[in-house]
Amino acid sequence: MESSTLKNHFPIFARQPELVYLDAAATALKPAPVIAAETAYYEQFSANIARGIYPMAEQATEAFERARAKIATFIGATTPEEIIFTSGTTASLNLAADLLASRIKNADNIVVTAAEHHSNFLPWKELCQKKKAHFRITPITAKGEIALPALEKLIDHHTKIFACTAISNVLGIINPVADIIKTVRTINPDTIIIIDAAQAVGHIPVDVSVWDADLVAFSGHKVFGPTGIGILFGKQTLLQDLSPVSFGGGMVLDACATETLYKEAPARFESGTPNIAGAIGLGAAIDFIDSIGIEKIHAQENTLAIFACQRLTAAFGETIQIIGTDLPATKSGIVSFVLAGAHPHDVASLLGEKSICVRAGLQCAAPLHESLNLAATTRLSLSIYNTEEDIEKLITALQEIKNIL
Amino acid sequence: MSSIYQAVVLDHYRNPRNSGRLDKPTHSATALNASCGDRLQMDITIKNDIISEVKFSGVGCAISQASASLLTEAVKGKKVTEALALEPPFILELLGVTLSPSRMKCGLLSLETLKKTLTTQK
């Protein structure tokens, strides 16, 4: 399928044919089957799950659990029981921090990297402050790669947790996750490893078993799914050892016993009515991705990102600084840049006036910007609905903006 | 939708008035715009409860820089109490444009910095 035909799957373009949407890393546009799946739940079988014993409730439960199974297969989990539904990556990572909190003592340390989104930085920083543990930040190289020799020095036998992103939300660098995890495990086999896969799932093939990660977080809305649904994957052996941190309906076996008896994972971590429509919509999003092929999606985004870098460099030469690595093989569909004499906010604002949507600012990654000595950046992030024509429109608009500012 | 990059904004962005630092200000402070990384610093000299001198420095977008330029021009010679009583609509009037909620914080960084500076004696 060509990207112009792929565009037809996204109803928003029927309403806004002029739209140039280059902000997939913030949230992906929604294809028709996802919108239809969510609507179908509300119109046809909007019962609560895992409670009612009437047919419609059973239909809802079945659809919900089918989505869980699809997600498990899609990311290489061993069983659907390793998939916990949350409201998004941020909620997943905060849940991970809450679940692991009781294991942290004051002589321990937690290691993160300077490339993290605030969601995979602040929960760990907070946890360290609460437990008086050491918070260690792995530096990044000038090109934005995680500095592996430095990481090897930071991990020791007191490292309880290592949290790392699979793909930087600013630079689009695909980190060698399996190698990084192997490095950490060689030094300390007991360290629990958490991967923020928000920019990876749906963009590159992800197999949590190949990574050998203990916990993996991602959002539904960045993989063509609905907002308000997310995933925390956890290895079964780890999940069964963790105690719940949120209590209520749906997660308990015997609430009256002196010592409350909770359900097994993942139910014990999913108190209350979940986002049923969101989960079903996410299942439809996985089907949509499978119908195109994840390898093809990655190849298309990678090719377009490299094209964008080449065109930006050709058009603006010395006056543009494209941030991060220039190795095409490690690029996802994210490109961040700084245009001399044009503040990213003005660039994004003026592009917005021309229906071109990009992100500007610190992109929820202040430590990364500080590490690379950048006040702010402009980011374009690509998806399968983007075309070379979108990039050409961007270049033309940027040339006009340079003349205005 | 008309552009927010009108002549007044662009003029004050390209040629900011009162840009720089004061040698011996009586008041000085910095304010940040956390989500965009903008930083504005103001130096003020107050004599007999009047803003006699004011300068600003820092990095920011056209909206935040132009609004700082316009605001410093507007408050020079004003009473401290008058300046402290200024509200957001005053900034929008100076800029002469309507700002969306997401750009409002860029426009209002100057006012926040001004009020912080007026209450931060060196």
pLDDT digits (tens, 9 = 90+) for A361-372: 888 999 999 999
- Could you check whether the bond before residue A266 is cis, i.e. omega within 30 degrees of 0? yes
The answer to whether the pTM exceeds 0.95 is no
Which residue of chain A is at minimal alpha-carbon distance from B10?
A405
Query: At residue B73, does pLDDT exceed 90?
Result: yes
Contact list in A for residue B34 (CB cut-off 8 A) is 362, 366
Q: What is the Cα–Cα distance from B68 to A57, expressed in whole angstroms?
A: 59
Q: Which residue of A has its CA nearest to B34?
A: A362
Please list the helix, strand and coil fractions of chain A in percent, rounded to the nearest 5, in that order: 45, 20, 35
Give SS3 for A24.
coil
Q: What is the pLDDT of residues A187-232, one digit of tens each?
A: 999 999 999 999 999 999 999 999 999 999 999 999 999 999 999 9
Examine the pLDDT at B1 and tell me if it is beyond 60.
no
Chain B within 8 Å of A353 (Cβ-Cβ)?
A: yes
Contact A366 B37 (CB under 8 A): yes
Residue pair A203/A333 in contact by the 8 Å Cβ criterion: yes
Give B-chain residues touching A346 at CB under 8 angstroms. 5, 61-63
pLDDT, position B103:
87
pLDDT over threshold 90, residue B3: no
Task: Report pLDDT for A309.
Answer: 95
> Is the model's pLDDT at B37 over the cut of 80?
no
CA–CA gap between residue B33 and residue B20 (Å, rounded):
19
- Region A327-355: mean pLDDT is 92
Q: What pLDDT sits at residue A329?
A: 81
Residue A1 — very low, low, confident or very high, per pLDDT cuts 50/70/90?
A: very low
Q: What is the mean pLDDT of chain A?
A: 95
Query: Which pLDDT tens digit goes with each residue over A78-108?
Result: 999 999 999 999 999 999 999 999 999 999 9
- If pLDDT is split at 50, 70 and 90, which confidence band does A4 have? low
* Token pair recorded at residue A309: 């870098």
Q: In what order do the strands lie in the sheet with A134-138?
A: A83-86, A230-234, A215-219, A192-196, A159-165, A109-113, A134-138
Instruction: Report d(CA A217, CA A175) in Å as an integer.
Output: 15
Task: Report the candidate in B114, B116, B50 with the shortest Cα–Cα distance to residue B77.
Answer: B50
Give me the pLDDT at residue A2, please.
57
What CA–CA distances, in Å, run from A11 to A6, A34, A49, A150, A381? 11, 11, 30, 47, 19
Query: How many other C-beta atoms can be found within 10 angstroms of the C-beta atom of residue A255?
Result: 12
Measured CA to CA, the distance from residue B97 to residue B106 in angstroms comes to: 13
Instruction: Provide the ipTM.
Output: 0.84
- C-alpha A267, offset from chain centre: 23
- CB within 8 Å: B3 and A350: yes
Catalytic residue among A128, A164, A357, A364: A364
pLDDT of residue B33: 83
- Average pLDDT (A16-27) is 97
| DSSP string for A72-107 | HHHHT-SSGGGEEEESSHHHHHHHHHHHHGGG--TT
Higher pLDDT, A326 or A24: A24
pLDDT digits (tens, 9 = 90+) for A163-182: 999 999 999 999 999 999 99
> Which of A283, A171, A169 shows the shortest CA–CA distance to A220?
A283
Per-residue confidence at A5, pLDDT binned at 50, 70, 90?
A: confident
Residue recorded with tokens 């409201």 = A87
Among the partner-chain residues A343, A362, A369, the one whose CB lies closest to the CB of B62 is A343
**A6 in contact with chain B, both atoms CB, cutoff 8 A:** no
Instruction: For residue B36, give how far its alpha carbon lies from the nearest alpha carbon of chain A (Å).
Output: 4
Whether A364 is catalytic is yes
Q: How far is A14 from chain B (nearest CA, A)?
A: 21
Q: Do A353 and B36 touch (CB under 8 A)?
A: no
